[in-house]
Amino acid sequence: MREFRAFGRKHSGALKVRDFDFDVKAVGDDGTFNGYGSVFGTVDSYQEVVAKGAFLESLAELEAKGRPVPVLWQHRSSEPIGAWSNLKEDDHGLFGEGKILLDAGEMERRAHAHMKARTVTGLSIGYWVRESSYDEKTGIRTLTKLDLVEISLVTFPANDDARVEAVKFKLAHGELPTEREFEKFLREEGFSKSRATFLSGAIEDLRRRESERDTTTNPSLKALSDTLAGFKL
């Protein structure tokens, strides 16, 4: 099993992402905005839910180190466009104030323009799972302790159709997309409907079989990721 370190701690498994809407009415002309990077009590397509208190330890460590959480564009670590401040948990979720660094370059100004125009309407967190519990009766995994890595601006929130880059991001980090996400990805890449449906069914079977295992070392997933790595966004 692969092992990762974040904030000085060991992590096994894959870096994960989770998407949410944010209130674009809060976007200012100076690049400031605010919103929830995560909400509590909402079960996602992976049958996972974030528990209140999951971020407290990670936020305390970040504050002690004076390390701001970056605002990334579409989860691309090579494209930071701003920083978060005043991140805190409330009864609803993880709330924070972000600022796009408009003077940094064209990409930042473009991101800000899209936010103002409502063509970008999602926030998505990147995190490591530190602790979780699994309910065999409901099949729901509760994430009780998370290491926050980044919060991205994304084109589509979780409940909208997945984009090609979102599927490729999941595969690159050892995480399997949902059947619907993968089928749409294949159709956008030119696969016929029947072939896309067949292949997306196969990935759903992989998700079921690998639900309790580390997919980063799964040869089938690695082969799939390697095959898709050549596709252009």
Least confident of 3-12, 38-47, 79-88, 103-112: 3-12
For residue 108, name the pLDDT band (cuts at 50, 70, 90): very high
CB atoms within 10 A of CB 158: 18
pTM: 0.64
The pLDDT assigned to 23 comes to 56
Residue 215 CA to residue 79 CA, distance in Å, equals 26
For residue 12, name the pLDDT band (cuts at 50, 70, 90): very low
Q: What is the DSSP string of 106-162?
A: HHHHHHHHHHHHTS--EEEEEEEEEEEEEETTTTEEEEEEEEEEEEEEESS-TTSPP
The pLDDT assigned to 217 comes to 45
% of the chain beyond a pLDDT of 90? 34
**Region for 42 from its dihedrals, namely left if φ exceeds 0, alpha if ψ lies in -120 to 50, beta otherwise:** beta
Least confident of 45-49, 78-82, 106-110, 168-172: 168-172
Question: What mean pLDDT is predicted for residues 54-77?
Answer: 93
Give 141-173 pLDDT, tens digit per residue.
Answer: 999 999 999 998 887 655 344 345 556 666 665
Residue 176 CA to residue 145 CA, distance in Å, equals 22
For residue 25, name the pLDDT band (cuts at 50, 70, 90): low
Domain boundaries, the chain: 3-159, 167-228
Six token digits for residue 98: 């972000």
Question: What mean pLDDT is predicted for residues 120-138?
Answer: 89
The pLDDT assigned to 188 comes to 63
For residues 185, 19, 114 and 190, what is the CA-based torsion angle, rounded to 10 degrees?
A: 0
Six token digits for residue 97: 């104030």
- Model confidence at 3: pLDDT above 50: no
- Model confidence at 222: pLDDT above 70: no
Residue 200 CA to residue 207 CA, distance in Å, equals 11
For residues 232 and 30, the model is more confident at 30
